[in-house]
Structures are given as C-alpha cells and as structure tokens.
A and B are shown apart, each in its own frame.
Chain A
C-alpha cells in the first residue's frame, strides 16, 4: 500500500492542499510543506511552476510567475525536497504541473528524482491518457509514482473507467467548468447529479473534488460527495501580504478543518 492509499484509510474526510513551489519565496517550499502537514493537510500537492499554465486561473498563474522570477525550476525543487521525508514522513506528496518542463527535464530523470525525494504521485493535466500509456506508464511504474487524472462533468463513463484502471491513488473530480480558483463554490450543489453519477459507478479509487473549493463551507459541501476535497488558489490567496507564509498557510488549514 502506498502513502496515498494509506492516507485514505483514515476515518473522516481528507483535505488536499496545493501550493506553488518557490512561492512566495524561493526557499518557502520546505517550510510550507512542514507547516501544511503539521496543520492537518492530509495530502499535499506541490505545484511546479510553468510559464503558460492553461488549466489555472489568475491566482495560481500569478504565483507561478513569481516562483519562476524567484528562480524556481525542477533542479532547485528536487534539491529542496532531498531530505523532505525526514521532516514530513507520512503525508503523501504529489507534484502537479505541466508536461513541457517535465519533458525538457527528461521523464526518466524526473521520475528518478521524484522517487528519490519520496514523492508519491504526479498530476500533469495536459498529459493525454494515450500518451501516458504509450510513453510514461512504464517509467512511472518502475519508480512507483502514481499518476492522478482529472475527471470533469463532461467525461464519458467509459473514459472514467479507463482512468480508474490506470492508477492506484485517487480520482481528481473537477467541480465544474472553469480553471482553478474559479467561482465553482456554489456550483458544487448544482453538480450533485454528476458527483452522484460518479459515486454510483463504484470505482476502485477514492475521489477528491477540486477547483473552486475555497473555505470550510465549500470544503464540507464537497465532502458530502467524495472522500475529500482539494484547495489551491484560496491557500495561495491566504498568503497575500503575510510576513510568515508558512504560519499563514497553517492558519488557513485550521480555518478549513476546525
């Protein structure tokens, strides 16, 4: 059983927090990870900043731009994460980003470095399923990295079943139309039929709902339809103007959970 599966053994709902590596400062990555884990985040996604993040709204775009200006790149990130499992032994860590920086770093290099750092899963929204199977799956498996795929209200049933077969982690249910950080909060209720349809499919993997989940209320609402939810943009926003970003991140997590 991998760390992600272990996390889902827990009683109650799971909170998955996304933050951008190298934001707000280049060396924020590790302090943020520690603070989020300690504050009670059940899973953590580290965003690998990209110049052209198509699936992301303005908040994560802006944090990515700042992180790149701070000098974040794949090599720096893996150096920062080298000893992370001594600091954060249990919490599953996933890397989320776009395919091009991974391609340029080299898939083999990327998987080797990620596995060495103790990363558990990878989310690359612009990696097509067929290309994953043909070109990436073998390498991911060799390094025991779990891919996470997105599902939307428009994803057809056969495709959802295929996605479910391709991983042993969780399914990322996009809450509704839009990029990250959008106003899907109210839409969670509207999408009830979609969430229930997925639930009724009796899939192998647990489900987390993401996009537009911003606070305790929307987190709890999403948790009615899944094993937990994912928050990204709202966390990044909570760091705005904070002198101590990890402390602000911890306060944000507490505000969602308590």
Chain B
C-alpha cells in the first residue's frame, strides 16, 4: 500500500522498516528529551519568528532559483538551479544549524558538538555557535582535515575547537562515532547538532524539517517562473541526505514529481571503492538508526570511498532508504571522474563553481531522460571554494 505521506515517520521514528533509535542507555535521556520536545519547539511562533528572521538576515534566504539556460540548451530540457551555494557559509548546511542552535538554547544547553565530513556542517555549526556565544567542538576525520583544510581553518577562526577522529577510515563515519562518544560523556550540558538526516529518531525528521525550507521556496519560485509549483524532476546528491531531504520534502507526496537521489560511486560500483549505499547496502544499524548500510557479511561496517568528503558515508538517512525501497525516488550513482567533469561543465556554462558533492547531482543530468518540455530542478547544495585544492590536483581530468 502506498502511504498517504512519506514525510512523517511513526511515533518511534520509523519510515517503513527504517529509522528508530538504537542508542545506548547513556544517550537515552538526551534523545528522549529531544524527541518529546522538538515538534512543540518547532511549532512555537516565537521559535519560528527567530528562525525565519535568521534565515533571512543571517543566511540570506530565500536563495534564488536560477534558470540555467546554457546547461538547458546542452541537455535539451529546462534546468533550474536552487542556489543553496549562496547561503552564508557556502552550503545548505546552515539551514539546519540555525534551527538546531535555537532548539539547543530552548533546551538550556550551553555546549555544542558536531561531526563534519567536508567541513561544511562543521563551519555552519561553528558559525551559529559564534553567533550565539556557545562553546563549539567539531569532530572531523583526520583524512578529511587534510583534504578540506580551508574549512578547518574557517572553523578555528570562528572559535571552534576541531578534534581529529583517528579511528577507522578517519572520515565522516568515525567523526560521527566520536561526536556520539562525546555526547555520552557530556549528557547534561551538551546538544549534538547532527548535520544530516541520519542518527537516532528524532534527528532524521528534525533535520528534514529544518532543511524543508529549500523545497518550500522552490515551489513558490517555480510557480512564479514556470506557472506551476511542480517540476518534473528534482535532483540532489546524497551522502547522509540532508540537502536531498530538504529539496524533496514538499514534493514527497506529489507523485508526478520524479525525485532523483545521486550517490557517489567513487571509482565505480564494483570497484570496492565507492559510497553507493542504495546499491551496495543492506539493512543494518549505524549511528542509532536502522537503514541501508554498507557492511560485510558479519555486520561489520565497511569503509566507504568517494573523492568528495561529504558523500563518503556508509549509510543513508532512513527516509532515503525508505524512498529507495518504495521506489519513490530513483537512485543514480556517479563516479569521481564524472563528477569532476560536471564541475568544469557547470563552471564554464553557468559561471558557477559547484562543490564536488553537488557536482554528482549535476553529472546525473544526462541520465534523467528529461525532455524539452520538462522542468528539472537541481539542488545546487554548495559552492566549490573548499574543493579548490582537489580541483587543482585533478586539473587533467577537469580540463
């Protein structure tokens, strides 16, 4: 049976068989406090007033919906770019951190922790902590600290402490483990700002609701520009899946809108070096959530790979696992090289240098099968400044 809504998880945080809150008892009081209060706080008019005001005056919302005419010509369809790259701090991540810092204040928390992969969520968290005068500790895999150095420096400049995660693959998964361990050790004064639609319930729903502003604006802007609130396609890249959740949210229950989630295939799906969870994952538990997960036959979580630090996560948010299982979203995987070529294409055709994560969504344009009368919205989730070193290193592929 097709559900009446894909948006709402059950009371225990399930989207179909995915979700839940698989957490040790040490985290239970914190997660329970959040679960029992988040909907009331989000609905509070005073919260909404502050949140909307910060989104407008601090983040710079609404972000434009830009008609990409040269890309449209090349792909013979009508392409719009939702310019989340123009958000303060350079990506959509700040939509969530602005909301969660206001939530943390209402819960009486004084210390903020976060995990980060590409560094965008870490920067967005450090930014709102500076804004609100809160202590901020960001966990980041040591491999990611190396490949996203400018973001490490930005976080430090904003007054955050960046702590390297040195276990496992030393990337996003391990940074998340360390952040969770910190929360276990600091259960009273600390709020954990998770950066994606992952983790125990209510985080996937909380983050999806805070990112839903993206699709809320898209609908209004599409009506203005195309005469219809509904496009034929909405395309977004998926690591954990927060920008995709935000871009899909207000279209989830509109069956005419095709939702396309683009994962990182790294060196290729069958290469053993990829992060294409919807293809390679099986149901399992990671970071407190039952979802699709890349793991070996013994249930040990395997190390994902993508050139982009924001996509190499071995799971996906439970909402996305559900959309994949139900066939509500189409999942496409894009390899490193295809993404790098899409960086060059978008830069030269539209004058916009996208983040490497975002470039995966752009690289899917050729695979959509969209026709000349179709409207395609790509969520341009972040800008490419942070990836300049990578782009320089792979200049031969790009040029």
Contacts and interface: CB of A to CB of B under 8 A. Distances in A.
Interface in B283-328: 283-288, 293, 295, 297-301
B283 to A, nearest CB: 8
Contacts of B29: 152, 154-156
A128 B20 contact: yes
A100 B20 contact: no
B186 interface: yes
B56 interface: no
A114 interface: no
A61 B167 contact: yes
Contact of B168 (A51, A98, A104): A51
B299 A152 contact: no
Interface string A104-134: 1100000000000000000001111011000
Given A52-B286, A103-B284, A179-B181, A126 B24 contact: yes
B184 interface: yes
B23 interface: yes
Nearest to A58: B167
Contacts of B188: 154, 177
Contact of B24 (A57, A100, A130, A150): A150
B185 interface: yes
A150 B26 contact: yes
Contacts of B72: none
Interface in B110-169: 167-168
Contact of A55 (B26, B187, B298): B26
B20 A131 contact: yes
Contact of B186 (A128, A152, A177): A177
A183 to B, nearest CB: 10
B184 A100 contact: no
B184 A178 contact: yes
Given A61-B167, A100-B286, A126-B285, A55 B299 contact: no
A11 B181 CA distance: 37
A104 B22 contact: no
A50 interface: yes
B12 interface: yes
Contacts of B168: 51-52
Nearest to A101: B299
Nearest to A172: B25
Contacts of B218: none
B177 A150 contact: no
B275 interface: no
B101 interface: no
Looking at B20, B185, B297, B298, the one whose CB has the most chain A CB atoms below 10 A away is: B298
Interface residues of B, number: 35
A219 interface: no
Given A101-B299, A177-B186, A155 B181 contact: no
Contacts of A239: none
Interface in B1-51: 12, 20-26, 28-29
Nearest to A174: B26
A221 interface: no
Nearest to B190: A177
Interface in B256-293: 282-288, 293
B180 interface: yes
Contacts of B180: 54
Contacts of A18: none
B24 A131 contact: no
A150 B22 contact: no
B173 interface: yes
A99 B25 contact: no
Contact of A125 (B12, B24, B282, B300): B24
Contacts of B24: 54-55, 125-126, 150
B12 A130 contact: yes
A50 B186 contact: no
A192 to B, nearest CB: 18
A100 B295 contact: yes
A57 B178 CA distance: 10
Contacts of A74: 298
Given A50-B299, A104-B295, A130-B12, 4 more contacts: A51-B301, A61-B167, A154-B26, A154-B187
Interface of A: 50-52, 54-55, 57, 61, 65, 68, 73-74, 98-105, 125-128, 130-131, 149-152, 154-156, 159, 174, 177-179, 182
Interface of B: 12, 20-26, 28-29, 167-168, 173, 177, 180-181, 184-188, 282-288, 293, 295, 297-301
21 contacts: A51-B168, A52-B173, A52-B301, A54-B184, A57-B181, A61-B167, A100-B286, A103-B283, A104-B284, A105-B298, A126-B23, A126-B285, A128-B20, A128-B22, A131-B20, A131-B22, A149-B25, A152-B28, A152-B29, A154-B188, A177-B184
Among all A-B residue pairs, the 10 with the closest Cβ atoms: A104-B299, A101-B299, A150-B25, A125-B24, A154-B29, A51-B300, A73-B298, A55-B24, A178-B185, A100-B299
